[in-house]
């Protein structure tokens, strides 16, 4: 759990499904500008253009292969995207695409397939922590084209990615970009019952592929056509005249390995429990803070608070108690540098590992620096309250 005051960078994260379900058609008008067609015998001018025909053909093939498995989702208040998960009619999307209130979905949604087929669907499972929802539809077998799921643990920064969705109601739109970063965190839509502070969603993919209102819930593909994420949010300071957020080249997607853990459980039980440590940590510390805390190294997840009686508290994890020249920063806390032998450079690394690999009741070994000591501490994970 990460307190808001610990966030160093203030992000404007715009959920992307909050737009009118109707798409206005502009009125045709006559202007003074004209478009001249070239005469048949006109001499063409050779302009050097850098084109990779093989690369273009790969993108064309990818779109033709996977677009039949993407869908548009409409509610009474907005619209978004989704994709076919299996042959049983399960559609995966974002929770905020189908939400009625902060923690409840609408009863019925409309699902439109690229073929033109339309059907009503019911929301059968929601996950507020990672912003995932499952919709069940009864549709003909020929309409259900399940998309292959990739392995987000194999992703690398710089790899090409493709987003397909319905930005601004323009159904089946494809955009291309790269993976800009991995292991990001976002605030979840699940608040702790005791404090009201929102938990963090981890293992988030950052991309510069164009994502706009209506793309939410749609798939993010690798170049092979495997789904490697669900488009969720953008960071932006630009908005349309009606207040809708505009793409700024910083988009975020839920990693597919989380989806593969969560969705089968949502289909079976309607909900999913996330592992819980019961700690708060600063996402990053500047040099002055590191010096004030007297930390022996610059990387790691520094513990700012421990929930009394929580899993970390029971295992003996310590938060800082000694005042520093930073009013909200106390020295003497543990610095987590590894989890199950995997290096933790920032808190995001810790969270990404937990949500992608562990569940309530599992155990982890946290390697911490406590002053000059290096300790391995066994922690039994709980469930997020």
Q: Which positions are annotated as active-site residues?
A: 96, 131, 216
Largest CA distance in the chain: 84
The residue length of the chain stands at 385
**C-alpha 287: how far from chain center:** 29
Asked whether the CA dihedral 165, 78, 121, 271 is positive or negative, the reply is: positive
List the alpha helices (DSSP H) in 240-323: 256-269, 287-293, 311-315
Nearest CA-CA partner of 258 in 383, 378, 351: 351
Strand 335-339 to 363-370 pairing: antiparallel
List the alpha helices (DSSP H) in 129-207: none
- Residue 369: helix, strand or coil by DSSP? strand
The token pair that represents 182 in the structure block? 């991995």
> Contact, 134 vs 127, CB < 8 A?
no
> Contact, 190 vs 384, CB < 8 A?
yes
- Consecutive H or E run containing 350: helix 347-357
> Contact, 107 vs 114, CB < 8 A?
no
Q: What single DSSP character describes residue 117?
A: -
Spatial neighbors of 292 by CB under 8 A, at least 6 apart, are: 324, 325, 326, 329, 331
């Amino acid at each position: 759990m990460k307190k808001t005051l610990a966030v160093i960078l203030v992000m404007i994260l715009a959920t992307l499904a909050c737009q009118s379900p109707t798409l206005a058609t502009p009125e045709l008008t006559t202007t003074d500008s004209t478009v001249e067609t070239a005469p048949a015998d006109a001499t063409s001018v050779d302009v050097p253009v850098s084109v990779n025909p093989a690369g273009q053909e790969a993108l064309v093939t990818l779109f033709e292969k996977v677009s039949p498995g993407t869908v548009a989702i409409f509610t009474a208040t907005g619209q978004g995207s989704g994709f076919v998960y299996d042959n049983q009619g399960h559609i995966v999307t974002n929770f905020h695409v189908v939400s009625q209130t902060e923690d409840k979905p609408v009863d019925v949604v409309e699902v439109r397939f690229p073929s033109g087929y339309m059907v009503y669907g019911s929301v059968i499972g929601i996950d507020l922590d990672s912003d995932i929802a499952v919709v069940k539809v009864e549709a003909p077998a020929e309409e259900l084209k399940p998309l292959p799921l990739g392995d987000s643990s194999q992703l690398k920064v710089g790899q090409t990615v493709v987003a397909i969705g319905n930005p601004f109601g323009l159904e089946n739109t494809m955009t291309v970009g790269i993976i800009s970063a991995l292991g990001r965190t976002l605030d979840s839509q699940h608040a702790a019952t005791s404090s009201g502070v929102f938990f963090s969603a981890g293992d988030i993919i950052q991309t510069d592929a164009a994502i706009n209102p209506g793309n939410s819930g749609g798939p993010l593909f690798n170049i092979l056509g495997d789904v490697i994420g669900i488009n969720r949010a953008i960071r932006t300071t630009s908005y349309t005249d009606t207040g809708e957020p505009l793409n700024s080249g910083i988009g975020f997607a839920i990693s597919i390995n989380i989806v593969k853990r969560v969705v089968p459980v949502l289909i079976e039980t309607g909900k999913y429990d996330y592992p819980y440590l019961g700690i708060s940590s600063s996402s990053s510390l500047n040099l002055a803070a590191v010096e004030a805390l007297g930390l022996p190294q610059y990387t790691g997840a520094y513990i700012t608070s421990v929930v009394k009686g929580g899993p970390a508290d029971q295992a003996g994890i310590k938060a800082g108690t000694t005042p520093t020249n930073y009013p909200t920063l106390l020295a003497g806390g543990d610095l987590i540098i590894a989890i199950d032998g995997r290096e933790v450079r920032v808190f995001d690394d810790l969270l990404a590992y937990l949500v992608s690999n562990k569940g309530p009741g599992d155990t982890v070994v946290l390697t911490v620096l406590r002053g000059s000591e290096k300790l391995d501490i066994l922690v039994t994970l709980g469930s997020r309250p």
